[in-house]
Amino acid sequence: MEEPSSSDPETEMGGAEEEDGDEDDESGLDEEHWNAGGSDAASDRAGDPAGAGAASPAAPGAAAAGTKTPPRPGTRDGQRRAGRTPAAAGPWGSGVGLLNLGRTCYMNATLQALLACGTAWRRVADEAQPQATEIRRRTQEFFRVVRSPGSRAVFSPWTLWRAVRDACPEFDNTRPHDAPHFLLSLREELARAPGIAEPSLAWAAWLSETDLLATTRTYCTQCGLADNHPPHPEPMVMGEVEEPPAESSVRGVVASWFGPTPLDADWKCDRCRSPTGAKAQKCRSPPRVLVVWLKRFRREGQVEWKVEAPVRGIEEEIDLTPHLDVVPGAPGGTSAAGGPGGARYQARAIVCHHGSKEHGHYTCWIRKDVDPGAAPAAAAAETEDRWLRYSDSSVGRPAAELPPDVAKSAYLLFCERAPCAAADAPPPAVVEIDAEPGPIGGSAGNAAAGHGEDTKGRPADDAEMQDGEEHDVEMFDT
For residue 382, give the 3-state DSSP assignment: helix
Rounded to 5°, the CA angle 107-108-113 comes to 100
Q: What is the pLDDT of residue 389?
A: 96
Predicted confidence (pLDDT) per residue in 17-67, tens digit: 344 444 444 343 434 444 454 433 333 333 333 333 333 333 333 333 333
Question: pTM of the full predicted structure?
Answer: 0.72
Task: Round to whole Å and give the CA distance between 311 and 220.
Answer: 33
Neighbours of 4 (CB within 10 A): 20
Residue type, position 435, single letter:
A
Q: What is the pLDDT of residue 372?
A: 54
Residue type, position 389, single letter:
R
Task: Round to whole Å and give the CA distance between 141 and 476.
Answer: 7
Predicted confidence (pLDDT) per residue in 260-283, tens digit: 999 988 889 999 998 889 999 999
Task: Round to whole Å and give the CA distance between 136 and 134.
Answer: 5
Q: What is the pLDDT of residue 40?
A: 34
Task: Round to whole Å and give the CA distance between 390 and 86.
Answer: 14
Which residues are paired to 156 by β-bridges? 475
Task: Round to whole Å and give the CA distance between 130 and 138.
Answer: 12
**Is the CB of residue 93 less than 8 Å from the CB of residue 111?**
no
> Which parts of the chain sit beneath pLDDT 50?
1-35, 37-88, 329-340, 421-478
Which residues, 6 or more positions from 112, have their beta carbon under 8 angstroms from its beta carbon? 93, 94, 98, 349, 364, 366, 390
Q: What is the pLDDT of residue 451?
A: 36
Q: What is the pLDDT of residue 376?
A: 55
Task: Round to whole Å and give the CA distance between 261 and 446.
Answer: 8
